[in-house]
């Protein structure tokens, strides 16, 4: 089944961070799988699958190559029409994420919400906690949010249109634009928008303020594909930086990192230690993933 899963790159703390988030979020949250992978360019790494409030995440402990920054954050919606304890639950999660973290926008009342705050947690990952307007269309609990800064500032709407054409089961949601008195942000650029890709919600905004960060590989978006034709399609549509193509990873024209992976990857990496080693050595040599070649490696076959 095609879906998009946020993928988080940690130095050594993926399992520890996943356990912290599961405890902080509660509800339908759990660490669902931990898989060691040996002899990679980053040495021995650990891949962690976890779920927060019913939303799937992946994490990897693969060395200090990439650092989280606020260019990709996660909006956590607390909707009073969906839960009676929305406000106290928001405040409780804020306190947990603030332990060892840093507030980027303090928890307070804002023109767009009665209760909102933007926090960078102890691991550097950013979260936006918001008390949702119950009169609006219902949104999921957690939504990845993309901030277009620097060279790509002003391209949030273009990116939304680009993605909603590429991905099926997609549509635009709401869009709010900056006005004439909101410099340095240009009038008409995106203050907030959301949209659906493969039936999953995402959000974006432009920011012309000075930011010393941009999109990087610390947070990537992993597209799970059932067939080779789907991998080929997304690779052709999204890849815009040839030198970034490696092990199923690519970068699009906005600098956002994607991983285009077989949905069978869990099975292929869930076999014996020997099977996992063969599959690992096979995919380390690939740019775009070849499902048939990975299956041959799993089966111990060197030719088709």
Residue 112 pLDDT greater than 50, yes or no: yes
Distance CA 115, CA 134 (A): 13
- 116 CB contacts (<8 Å, ≥6 apart)? 105, 107, 108, 109, 110, 128, 129, 130, 131
For the chain, list the domains and their CATH numbers: 3-63+216-299 (3.10.180), 72-206 (3.30.720.110)
Distance CA 36, CA 17 (A): 16
Contact (Cβ atoms closer than 8 angstroms) between residue 160 and residue 173: no
Looking at every residue in the chain, the average pLDDT score rounds to 95
| pLDDT band per the 50, 70, 90 thresholds, residue 273 | confident
Instruction: List pLDDT tens digits, range 230-243.
Output: 999 999 999 999 99
Residue 32 burial by Cβ neighbours in a 10 Å radius (0-12, 13-18, 19+): middle
Res 136: pLDDT:
74
| pLDDT band per the 50, 70, 90 thresholds, residue 304 | very low
Res 23: pLDDT:
98
Instruction: List pLDDT tens digits, range 60-86.
Output: 999 999 999 999 999 999 999 888 999
Read off the pTM. 0.95
Instruction: List pLDDT tens digits, range 278-296.
Output: 999 999 999 999 999 999 9
Distance CA 252, CA 232 (A): 15
Res 1: pLDDT:
65
CA 6 to chain centre: 3
Residue 250 pLDDT greater than 90, yes or no: yes
């Amino acid at each position: 089944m095609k879906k998009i899963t946020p993928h988080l790159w940690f130095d050594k703390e993926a399992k520890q961070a996943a356990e912290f988030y599961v405890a902080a979020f509660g509800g339908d949250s759990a660490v669902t799988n931990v898989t060691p992978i040996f002899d990679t360019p980053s040495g021995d790494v650990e891949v962690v699958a976890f779920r927060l409030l019913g939303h799937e995440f992946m994490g990897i402990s693969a060395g200090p190559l990439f650092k989280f920054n606020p260019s990709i954050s996660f909006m956590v919606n607390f909707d009073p029409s969906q839960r009676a304890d929305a406000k106290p639950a928001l405040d409780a999660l804020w306190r947990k994420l603030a332990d060892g973290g840093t507030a980027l926008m303090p928890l307070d009342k804002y023109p767009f919400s009665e209760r909102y705050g933007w926090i960078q947690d102890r691991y550097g990952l950013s979260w936006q906690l918001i008390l949702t307007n119950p009169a609006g269309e219902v949104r999921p609990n957690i939504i990845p949010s993309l901030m277009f800064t620097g060279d790509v500032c002003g391209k949030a709407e273009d990116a939304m249109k680009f993605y909603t054409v590429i991905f099926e089961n997609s549509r635009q949601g709401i869009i709010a634009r900056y006005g004439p008195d909101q410099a340095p942000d240009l009038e008409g650029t995106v203050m907030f928008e959301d949209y659906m890709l493969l039936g999953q919600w995402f959000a974006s905004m432009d920011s012309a303020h000075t930011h010393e960060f941009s999109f990087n590989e610390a947070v990537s978006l992993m597209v799970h594909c059932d067939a080779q034709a789907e991998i080929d399609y997304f690779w052709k549509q999204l890849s815009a930086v040839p030198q970034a193509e490696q092990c199923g990873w690519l970068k699009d024209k906005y600098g956002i990192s994607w991983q285009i992976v077989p949905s069978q990857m869990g099975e292929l990496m869930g076999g014996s230690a020997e099977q996992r080693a063969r599959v690992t050595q096979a995919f380390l040599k690939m740019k775009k993933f070849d499902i048939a070649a990975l299956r041959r490696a799993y089966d111990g076959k060197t030719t088709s």
